[in-house]
Structure formats: C-alpha cells, structure tokens
Amino acid sequence: PDVCIVGLGYIGLPTAAIVARAGCHVHGVDVSQHVVDTINRGEIHIEEVDLDGLVQAVVQRGLLKASLSVAPADVFIIAVPTPFGPDHQPDISYVLSAARSVAPVLKQGDVVILESTSPVGTTEEIRDLIAHMRPDLKVPGCTRETPDIAIAYCPERVLPGRILEELAHNDRSIGGITPRCARKALAFYKLFVRGTCIATDARSAEMTKLVENAYRDVNIAFANELSIVADKMGLDVWEVIKLANRHPRVNILQPGPGVGGHCIAVDPWFIVASAPMETPLIRTARGVNDGKIHHVIGRADALIAQHPKARIACLGLAFKANIDDFRESPARLVAVTLARKYGERVSIVEPYAAQLPNEFDGTGAKTIDLDEALEECDILIVLVDHDIFKVVPLAERADKIVYDTRGIWPDQPKPAGEAAPALRLA
C-alpha cells in the first residue's frame, strides 16, 4: 500500500523509515518546512540510533518523500504530539487537525490509524469528524452496511534510543473502531512488525497505552519514595532494593532525580483527567516523582552549605542514560537550579551535549569534560547514569564528596556520619 504519515517526529519519522524499508511508498507530512527539507535531503532532524542511515537509504531509493500537505494514500498514520495544558488537561487539537487534513483525500478502502498517545475516546472523535466532513463515506460503527473506510488506534511503545529495533520487534495492540477495522489495520502492521499484533477495540487500546506509562510512573514513584525514606533513616536505598529484588515476586525499579521524558510524566495525567475522583494513586505518584527533584535540590544545597568553598560538578543533563535528549529532564532542572544559586562554582559535564542549553546563560556555570571535573571539582553530583560515568574507577573519585542520585557508584566511601544506621535498637 501507499502510506501517508502525518507528523514526522520521534515516532512518525522512524515509522515512516521502517514502513518504507518494507517496500511501501511513504509520503511524510509535517508542519515544519525545515523538517520537510531536511528529510528530503536524506537527513534527519532528531537523534535516534541508526535512523540517519535508514532515512538516507529510503529517501535515495525514492520510497520516502516529505511535504507540507497530505496526499492520497491507502493507509494514513497520524503521529502528532498530544501535549497537556497547565491544568493537566490533554490537548488533542493537533490530532484533530491532522484528521481534518486527511478527511478530504480519503477514498473507499482506506485505513486511518491514530498512533499518538491520546485520551480514551479520541479515535471515536476522529471517526465523528470524518463522518461530518465526508457525508459521502460510510464510516465504521455508524452503519449496518459495510463501511467504506477503516479507523483504528495503534499506539507505539518504543523506547527512545532503541526505537528502530523496538518498532520492529515489540508486540502491538491494534484497536479497531470495529473488529473489521482492527483486522484491516493488523494486516498493515504485519508488513513491518515482527512482534505479535493483537486485535482489540479502540478504547481499550487507548487506555492500554496510558496504563503502560502510568504503571511505570507509579513504580518509579515507589522507588523514589523509598529513596527519601532511606535518606532519612541513613540507609543505602540501592542496597535495600537489590536485596528486596532477590525475592521471586518483587521487582522494584531504580530511584533517580525524578521522572523525565515526554511520556511517563505526561500520560498518567490523561487517565487522571478522565477520572479525577478515581485516581488518587496515579496522581500521588506524579506528585512523588516531581517532588523528588526538589528533594535532590535540597540535599545538594545542604551538601554545598557544608563545603562553602567547594567546586561542584553536575554529571549529566539528559532525561535518562546514554541519550542526547534534554527535554523534560529532571537532571537539567536540578543542574540549572544549582547553577543559578552557585554560579561559577558549578560546572556541568554532559558528553551528549555540544553546548549548554540557553537557560544556563548568565549563570556563570560552564561546561567541562569528565576528566576536568575529576581533577578540578570537589563535589560530584551524579544526575544521569551515562555509561561513561559508571566506569570511573574508585581511585579517581575516592577523595571526592559525592551525591549519587542514580546509585552508579556503590563502592563510593560514605562520608563519616552519613548512611550510618539512624535507628539503633539499644
């Protein structure tokens, strides 16, 4: 089939590339002229492992082309952002405007698939919008006759940094407005997905996507709460989690400076917005994870206050290990807060950043490399568990004052008085 993909971001572009690699002609659509031009040159505007080579190859073979407007196709995929407002209400306006741009070119037999993370009911809204704009087409779920088009919700569940691999290998939920819609969408995904594709209804698939990320958020919140409790008790939370996880039915996640990225800290709010009275746990987990950032800043402040002349290195800005994505990053928020407070005393080490983000301008903080930090700085604050930080041997950091929010250096000697058992029996 010919495929039109609306939205060429972190999901749309890798999907476009993989579908093109499977042999389909793909027409990519984006609102940004810069994005369109970059892709048509065979280049990419986002960072993702191996994506550059694949996009270059499919553009050169004439299988992927980008433009500003939607063109007729057999399958349409909508992969645009669904942000939320300051009141944590999901904003599906980009999804609806993508559907509005697709509706005029639809013909009998076409399949419309929404991939954007969306509140439950959004796929039905798309169906209603298409029905309204195209009274000449029989839409699914509204007629007893065979519908002219199929509409489905098929969320991605890929991990940034492993997108190409996970797009091909992860299982997928394929939620049709009707079972027939699900079967038509499933036949399309079978062209490039090697994981199992499971047909369901659109609302269940919408909720499944939200539930997956809320599940992870709640579980990370448990680890983060434990880390704050352990701090208070003078315990090493990493040791406790490691031991607890020896239990065959316990698998506690890792504490950190908070939860970043564009999904896990956002998607739980979509569930809360749909059922505010029924979601105290999900809402509290969000509060715990956001609160962890402030706990880390408070702990860093206390440490810095004890060492008024010390030079401070913040290790890492990315929202998680081994990627160059700094958006919605708790590490970045901690680092910039410390930079604003302590100015020139603060240095930032981020091997994945070419330069410091703008908000560091005027703070006096500078960027240095890891070797310089190990030579020049007295306090090391580990904010990201990049592999390159993990392998620093103890000999190079034994004399440092370390605040390790990710638990990457279990062998680091504890300063006297810290992590001594606070609760004694005698």
Question: Looking at the annotation, which residues are catalytic?
Answer: 209, 263
- Residue 139 or 348 with smaller CB distance to ligand SAJ: 348
Burial class (CB in 10 A: 0-12, 13-18, 19+), 97: middle
Q: Binding ligand SAJ by CB under 6 A: which of 19, 55, 167, 259?
A: 259
Q: Binding ligand SAJ by CB under 6 A: which of 105, 198, 240, 253?
A: 253
- Residue 59 or 167 with smaller CB distance to ligand SAJ: 167
Q: How far is the CB of 260 from ligand SAJ (least distance, A)?
A: 4
Q: What is the C-alpha to C-alpha distance for residues 245 and 250, in angstroms, rounded to an integer?
A: 5
- Residue 147 or 407 with smaller CB distance to ligand SAJ: 407
**If binding is defined by CB under 6 A, does position 264 make contact with ligand SAJ?**
yes
CA 334 to chain centre: 19
Q: How far is the CB of 208 from ligand SAJ (least distance, A)?
A: 11
Structure tokens at 104: 């005029």
**If binding is defined by CB under 6 A, does position 254 make contact with ligand SAJ?**
yes
State the binding string over 278-317 for ligand SAJ (x if CB under 6 A, else -): ----------------------------------------
**If binding is defined by CB under 6 A, does position 216 make contact with ligand SAJ?**
yes
234-257 burial, b at 16+ Cβ within 10 Å, e below that, comes to ebbbbebbeeeeeeeeeebbebbb
**If binding is defined by CB under 6 A, does position 35 make contact with ligand SAJ?**
no
Q: How far is the CB of 327 from ligand SAJ (least distance, A)?
A: 11
Q: How far is the CB of 149 from ligand SAJ (least distance, A)?
A: 27
How many residues touch ligand SAJ under the rule CB under 6 A: the total is 20
Write phi, then psi, for 249 (nearest 5 degrees): -120, 20
**If binding is defined by CB under 6 A, does position 140 make contact with ligand SAJ?**
no
Q: At what angle do helices 330-342 and 280-306 cross, to 10 degrees?
A: 30
**If binding is defined by CB under 6 A, does position 220 make contact with ligand SAJ?**
yes
Q: How far is the CB of 258 from ligand SAJ (least distance, A)?
A: 7
- Residue 59 or 210 with smaller CB distance to ligand SAJ: 210
Site residues for ligand SAJ per CB under 6 A? 117, 156-160, 212-213, 216, 220, 253-254, 256, 259-261, 263-264, 319-320
